[in-house]
Each structure stands twice: as structure tokens, then as C-alpha cells.
Amino acid sequence: MHAFYVGFLLGVLVLHAAAFQTIKTYIDALQQFGAECGKTSTLADDVVGRIDMTTNFFGKEMNVEYLYGLFLAGARANTTQLIPTPTRTVPQALVIEQPVAFVSFITDFFFSSVNLTLPLQIDVIVRFDDETMKVTSYDATLRRWSEFWDYFIPFLVPKAAEELMAANTAGVDYANSTDIIVHRAAADICTVAQTYCVGDSKQYDSYGQCIEFLTKKVPFGAAWSGGENASVQSS
């Protein structure tokens, strides 16, 4: 009887494996997803994504905007950014059970304005469409993000204050590190909003209105409140 169940189980496993693409195909697709950082070629039209310290992203367009634009904008900016640029990734673990893959890796994040590099471990669960090998959903967890945030923010405050002073930014309490970060983030957010959010996508009547809203009307928020109505969500 024992041999029967063992044989049955092996048969089920063989049928399961035969019903999906090979493990190598999944590894290749996972590497492409990571390398292209959410470009449209890797995502299904109805993809659903989630990053634990922000929120859920529905559809290809929104996911590309956040996955690709988030880090690209920071890398191109010449001001102090709260979102660092990933520079190097070292895999720690990989488990594949088609059509789902789990990967854990340590990424070095670079804060260019203060020449600071810090490591952060990220866990991601990815589900693929087995026919097209496009990502249909993913769930990413940035381990100990709140502690990471609390550690790197003090390194950014002096440089952010220097930039705000050089730009003669009004209304900043330079004795308050949080207020410095709030105004630094607001200045960058509002510059982007006034440049790219035009026409039907326009959010604010002026740069000044944008600054007033982000610094006075809504709280900045904590490291974990990216999905809430807070300035940190836009940074």
C-alpha cells in the first residue's frame, strides 16, 4: 500500500511538471523581470502588484510607472532623493513552484547626493502566465524598511537643508529635521507634477499650491505609510 501511494505521488508530480514551462524558463523570465525593472514587455495587461510599504498597483501602466519610473527619476535627479538608486543585487534564495516563484535578494542602494550606499533585503513572490511568461502578479516585501528609513534619513538632512537654503526656500524650519525632509520632498514632487502632470492630468494650479498642499494640508507620514494620504506616498 505504501509503494502504491509513493508511486501515485510521483506520478502526480510528473504530470504537474509536464503541465508547465521548465524551471529554466521560469528562472530566465524572473531574471528578465528584475533586469528590466517592470518594463511593459515583462508584464501582463491586467497585472496586479503590491509593495508592502506603499500600496497595490493595478494594470500595466500603473505598475510600469512605479516600478520603472520610481528608481529612474531618482537616478536622474541632482537633488537629495528619499528613494535611492539600486546598484547591485545579490540573490539569497530562490524557490519555484510553477507558476509561482519566490526570490529573496540583497540590493545595494545608493544615495548619490551624500555618496552613501546601504544594503537592503527584498523578498518577492511572482506569479507568471505559464503560456506567455508575463508577470500577472507580484508581492514585494522590503525587510525592516522602517529601520532602514530611520537609519538613512539623518544622513540626508544636512545636504537637503543645504539645497533648500541655496534655493532660498521659504517656510522651512531648519531646526526641525522632519520639516527639512518634507520641503525637500515637496520641492521635487511639485517640480515633477508641474512638468509632467498637464492637461487632464493636471493636479495643482501652480507650483506654490502644490507646495502648500504637501507641506501644510497633508501629513508627511511614516516610512510604512506610502499607501496612505501622506506626502511620503508621492516621494
* pLDDT tens, N- to C-terminus, the chain (235 residues): 455 444 444 444 444 444 577 888 888 888 888 776 656 788 999 999 988 877 788 998 888 777 766 666 666 678 888 888 888 889 899 998 889 999 999 999 999 999 999 999 999 999 999 889 999 999 999 999 989 999 999 999 999 999 999 998 888 999 999 999 999 988 888 887 787 777 877 778 888 888 888 888 877 755 545 544 444 444 4
Q: Kindly report the number of other CB atoms within 10 A of residue 25's CB atom.
A: 15
Degrees (nearest 5) of the Cα angle 176, 177, 178? 95
Distance CA 215, CA 179 (A): 8
Beta-strand relationship, 85-97 and 135-142: unpaired
d(CA 144, CA 148): 6
DSSP state of 131: T
Measure the CA–CA gap between 78 and 76, rounded to whole angstroms: 7
Q: 116-128 and 135-142: which strand pairing?
A: antiparallel
Q: Are strands 43-51 and 135-142 parallel, antiparallel or unpaired?
A: parallel
The rounded distance, in Å, linking the Cα atoms of 177 and 74 is 21
For residue 150, what is the enclosing H or E element?
helix 145-166
Find, among 224, 150, 221, 228, the residue nearest to 185 by Cα: 221
Q: Report the C-alpha gap between 125 and 49 in whole angstroms.
A: 10
Q: Do 133 and 29 touch, CB atoms closer than 8 A?
A: yes
pLDDT the model gives residue 217: 82
User: What is the rounded CA–CA span in Å between residue 120 and residue 127?
Assistant: 23
- Residue 204, classed as helix, strand or coil, is coil
Q: What CATH topology corresponds to 2-143? A: Nuclear Transport Factor 2; Chain: A, (3.10.450)
- Among candidates 98, 13, 110, 123, which has minimal Cα distance to 71? 110
Q: How many residues does the chain have?
A: 235
CB-CB contact of 156 with 111 (8 Å): yes
pLDDT of residue 221: 57
Q: What is the pLDDT of residue 223?
A: 54
The residue extents of the domains of the chain are 2-143, 148-233
